[in-house]
Structure 1
Amino acid sequence: MTQFPTLNGFGPTRRTLQLYARALGALARVYAPAHPKWWHISLKVTPVGLVTDNLPCAGGGILAGRMDFHRRAIVMESSDGRQWELPMDAGLSGRIMGERVIAAAAEAGLNGAIDRGRFADDEPGVYDSEAVGRFFTALVRADRVLKRHGARLGEKAGPARLWPHGFDLSLEWFGSRVERYNEGGQEMELPAQLNLGFYPGEDDDTSYFYSNPWPFEADKLLGRSLPDGAVWHTEGWQGAMLPYTAVEDEEQLLAFAAAVFDIASPLLTTP
C-alpha cells in the first residue's frame, strides 16, 4: 500500500490554497530580510501547516503568518502576543483573503506597497477539509524525504521550502560550476544546481516528484537510465520526473533522488 494518499478531487481547493499562499508570499517579499536565493518568499512545512519566515516589525518585534490546516485558518501572530485568525473555509476569494492578510500586517505595524497582482482573483474560495487533509499528509511525507535527502547531501543543500508561485515543495543542491547568463540585458552569474521537488497537482495524474539539473545538458543526460517509473522530461521544463501514481514509499523516492544526483552532479561540478 502506498504511503502517499490520493490527491484526486484536490483541484478546486488547490487553486484556493495557492492564492492564499501567494498572499503570504507577497507580504514576505516586502518585509522579510531578503535572501539572495529568494528563500525569504517561500513557506516552511510545520506540524500544523505552512509558515512564513519571521517578518521584522517596527519597535523590535516580529510577525509570522501561517496556513494552519488544523484550525482551517491563516493565523497571523506577532511577538507581542497579538493574533489574527482568518478562516480559510469561509469561501474567501484570493483577493479578499489577501486584503485581510495585509490589514492584519498593518495592525502589527507593517505598512507598505504589496503586489496585489500575485493573488488578485475574485472567484469564491473552495476549502474541502478532507482534500486538505490528504494534501497535507502528502506534503508532510514529501518534506520528510526532501530533508532526508538534503541531510545526505550536506552543507551544499538548501532548505526544503514551498514556493507559492508554483505551489511546489523543493530543495536545491549547489554545485561548484558557475554559469553566466543574460537577464534583461544584464549579465548574471549563478551556481549550477540540482533540485528535488514535489508538485501536487489537481489530482493524482497531474502530480509528480522531480529532480532538475541546471544547466540541463540533454546530450549527456537523456541517454542515462533512471529507476523504474522515472522518466526524463523535456516538454515545458527539463529534468527527471517520477509520477505520483508510481510512488509507493519514501525509500523509492530517496532512491530516485540519489540516482539523479549520481548522474547529474558530476556535470555541475568544476573539475
Structure 2
Amino acid sequence: MDNDFSNAPSNLSSEVWLPLPVAEWQDTNETLHLWTQIIGKIRLALAPKVNHWWHSTLYVTPRGLTTSAIPYGTRIFQITFDFLNHQLLIETSDGITKAIALMPRSVADFYQAVMSTLEDIGIEVKLWTIPQEVTDPIPFEQDIQHTAYDDECAQRFWRILVQCDRLLTIFRARYAGKCSPVHFFWGSFDLAVTRFSGRRAPDHPGGVPGMADWVTREAYSHEVSSCGFWFGKGSIEALFYAYAYPTPEGFKDYPVQPQEAFFSPEMQEFVLPYEAVRQASNSDAMVLSFLQSTYEAAANLGHWDRAALEYSPVLKL
C-alpha cells in the first residue's frame, strides 16, 4: 500500500465548473451511488443517532468524500473516498490505515472488500444490504451488475461537489437558526443544506420511492427550507434545487433569482440548471442568488421570524 498522497495527478483541469452530462457517466454514477450507500450505511449503523438522519451522511473533503470520525468502543475510525489517488481509505485512531482500490469492480466485490477489511481491523458491523432510493434494488452482496468506474468521471463528480460545498457553506453561514451541516446524502446522491424555522411540521405523507414513510417523517419533522445540488438522472441533467416543507401557499409562483431558475412541476421544487451556472459570467453570484431567493420564498410565505433567524457575523479584528 502506498501512503504517499503528496502529489496530485498532473491532469487536473484548471476549469472550475466542469461539464458532466448524465449520458457520459451514467454507469459510473450508478456504481458510485451504490458504493457510497455501503459506506454511508456503515456510518448509519455505528454513529450516535442525530435528528433528521444527520448521523448517516458523508462530507466533502479536499480529496473526496468522508464519513468523518465514527466512534467504535474506545476507538474512532473514518472511511474516505479519495478521488485523486482513487482509493478508499479506512483509518483508525490506533494508527491503522487500509486502502482499497477504486477501480472497475462489482458492487458485490467492493462490499466484500470493505467488510473483510473492517473485520480484519476489529470492527464488526451488520448492514441492511438493500440499496435505498434506487430502482430495482439488488442486495450489495449479490450485485455483479454494476461494475463501472471511470477515473475521470469520478474525479469530475468530486470536483463539482467541491464547488457546490463551498457555496452552500457560505450560504449556511448566514443563518443563526437551526441549520444542518452541508452534507452528502447517499440515498438520493445529492449535496444539501437545510434551514429550520423552529416550528414542528405536519406529518409528512411519505410515498418517497425506496424510502420507508417513518424515515421520511423523521427527516421532515420540522418546517424546513432546503437546497442543494443533484447530479441528474435519465433525461434530467444536473441542477441546483430548492424546496420547502410544508410548501407554503404561493410558493411555486414566487419570483426567484436568477432568471434561469424556474419551478419544476415534475420535481415540485425550484431548479437552476447546472449548465446555466457553468456558462454564467459570475457563477458564484448566480448560485448564491438562487439559494437566497428560494429561501426567502419559503421564509416570507411561511411567516418565519427572519429577524431572529438570520445572521451577519461581526468580526472584531
Match of 2:262 among 222, 227, 231: 231
Unaligned stretches of 5+ residues in structure 1: none
Unaligned stretches of 5+ residues in structure 2: 1-14, 132-138, 207-212, 306-317
Q: Alpha-carbon deviations, 1:192-219, whole Å to 9, x = none? A: 00111000125995110001111113x4
Matched with 1:110 is 123
Matched with 1:145 is 167
Deviation, 1:270, is: 5.4
Q: How far, CA to CA, are the matches of 1:3 and 1:72 in structure 2? A: 20
Deviation, 1:135, is: 1.7
Q: How far, CA to CA, are the matches of 1:264 and 1:202 in structure 2? A: 26
- Secondary structure of the residue that 2:84 maps to in structure 1? coil
- Secondary structure of the residue that 1:67 maps to in structure 2? strand
One-letter code aligned to 1:36 = N
One-letter code aligned to 1:35 = V
Query: Which segment drifts farther, 165-174 or 242-251?
Result: 242-251
1:177 aligns with 2:207: no
Q: How far, CA to CA, are the matches of 1:176 and 1:136 in structure 2? A: 33
Say how many residue pairs are matched.
266
- Secondary structure of the residue that 2:122 maps to in structure 1? coil
Q: Alpha-carbon deviations, 1:40-74, whole Å to 9, x = none? A: 1110001010000322223x111110111112011
Matched with 1:132 is 154
1:203-214 alignment runs, 5 A limit: 206-214=237-245
One-letter code aligned to 1:173 = R
Which structure has greater strand proportion? 1
Deviation, 1:26, is: 1.1
1:154 aligns with 2:176: yes
Deviation, 1:238, is: 2.0
Matched with 1:81 is 95
1:7 aligns with 2:37: no
Matched with 1:196 is 227
1:10-25 alignment runs, 5 A limit: 10-25=25-40
Q: How far, CA to CA, are the matches of 1:245 and 1:203 in structure 2? A: 16
Q: Alpha-carbon deviations, 1:112-146, whole Å to 9, x = none? A: 32112226222252221222222222110000010
Q: How far, CA to CA, are the matches of 1:23 and 1:33 in structure 2? A: 18
One-letter code aligned to 2:201 = E
- Give the number of the structure with larger relative contact order, counting CA–CA contacts within 8 Å between residues 6 or more apart: 1
Matched with 1:254 is 288
Deviation, 1:269, is: 4.5
Q: Alpha-carbon deviations, 1:67-121, whole Å to 9, x = none? A: 11112011111111111211111x2211221222122222233223211222622
One-letter code aligned to 1:192 = E
1:222 aligns with 2:264: no
Contact 1:30 1:114 in 2 (8 A): yes
One-letter code aligned to 2:87 = A
Deviation, 1:251, is: 1.3
- Secondary structure of the residue that 1:173 maps to in structure 2? strand
Matched with 1:41 is 56
One-letter code aligned to 2:265 = T
Match of 2:41 among 26, 35, 49: 26
Q: How far, CA to CA, are the matches of 1:102 and 1:265 in structure 2? A: 44
Q: How far, CA to CA, are the matches of 2:187 and 2:130 in structure 1? A: 12
- Secondary structure of the residue that 2:253 maps to in structure 1? coil
Contact 2:178 2:198 in 1 (8 A): no
- Secondary structure of the residue that 2:49 maps to in structure 1? coil
One-letter code aligned to 1:250 = D
Q: How far, CA to CA, are the matches of 2:163 and 2:285 in structure 1? A: 11
Matched with 2:297 is 263
Contact 2:177 2:197 in 1 (8 A): no
1:70 aligns with 2:84: yes
Q: Alpha-carbon deviations, 1:169-211, whole Å to 9, x = none? A: 00100012321216769x9782100111000125995110001
Query: Which segment drifts farther, 126-135 or 78-87?
Result: 126-135
Deviation, 1:29, is: 1.2
Contact 2:202 2:246 in 1 (8 A): no
- Secondary structure of the residue that 1:153 maps to in structure 2? coil
